[in-house]
Structure 1
Amino acid sequence: MHAATIAGLLADPTRLKVVAALALGARTIEQVAEVTGLPLKDVALAARRLGRAGLVRRDRHELELLTERFGAAARAAAEAAPPPEPLSDDPAEDAVLSAFVRDGRLVSIPAQQSKRRIVLEHLVRVFDVGIRYPEREVNALLAVWHPDTAALRRYLVDEGLLTREAGLYWRSGGWVDV
């Protein structure tokens, strides 16, 4: 079964409630109806549809959620997904960035200075050259990357990638795409 098929099945609120009730321990149509507040008829129809899709095993009024099907679909989707676009043309830099940046967010700030520098040089590109930013705007841009904006701001200034004067920041280092 494809992950998209499962997502489509669970997009229906009734089927989602039935799956949730089964995942939490309900074992019969009556128990699912009681826990979800859904009419028996709606639970039976949802269970039938989930059963035809192979997500629920039904034996009279007994229901069993086949949880292994969800994991199998997730693994298959992950294997079929195209590899992520490299974050840098340099393989060494890309390895560092791939370790710390996921889905456009910084998962952690590297402790090692050399790795932190690579991440900061990548991150500083959100600031346009020649523009002065108030601290509030710097924080807003950095918050998109990581919640610890003060640490990122301090590291960027310490590394000479941003300069601060009179409460304004501007880009003063790093590579510039032209």
Structure 2
Amino acid sequence: MTAHALAGALADERRRTVFAAIVLGARDVPAVVAGTGLPARDAAVAVRRLTDAGVLADDEGGLRVDAERLREFARAGAAAPAVPAANPREAILRTFLRDGALTRLPAQRGRRRVLLEHITERTFEPGRRYPEREVDDALRRWCEGGEADHVTLRRYLIDDMLLTREQGVYWRTGP
């Protein structure tokens, strides 16, 4: 069992409710139904999924939490070497850029700022002035095939003060 499998097994509210009922002593589906108030079909599906995931065991004594499997999982997780945290900037760029194109703009302001700084650094030279058409053409390339459009991207660059605009001429003001 992996952390992903365990999290998936217990992600559903009904499965957590069934798990709790079994921890508290329910040994079969009718007892789970009585203890939880769930429909019999939902309880049976939850029991099957938890059993398939290895969280529950169904033996002569009825349903029970497979404590040994959970202990094995805990020991395996404790023995796993710590994975160094990925560079947050790189993680953001990997999430929102594919093959050099913007897939979508992040809703979270901090993430969006990281992405906008990256686009600014790669697209506009400090000190150079750009006519609006050239800015639009450069930003369109970033938006090809994604959900974002160049006009919104341009607006964010100006709002975040990475580009400045005056009389249809733009220049880089941010990092």
TM-score with structure 2 setting the length: 0.47
Larger Rg: 2
TM-score with structure 1 setting the length: 0.47
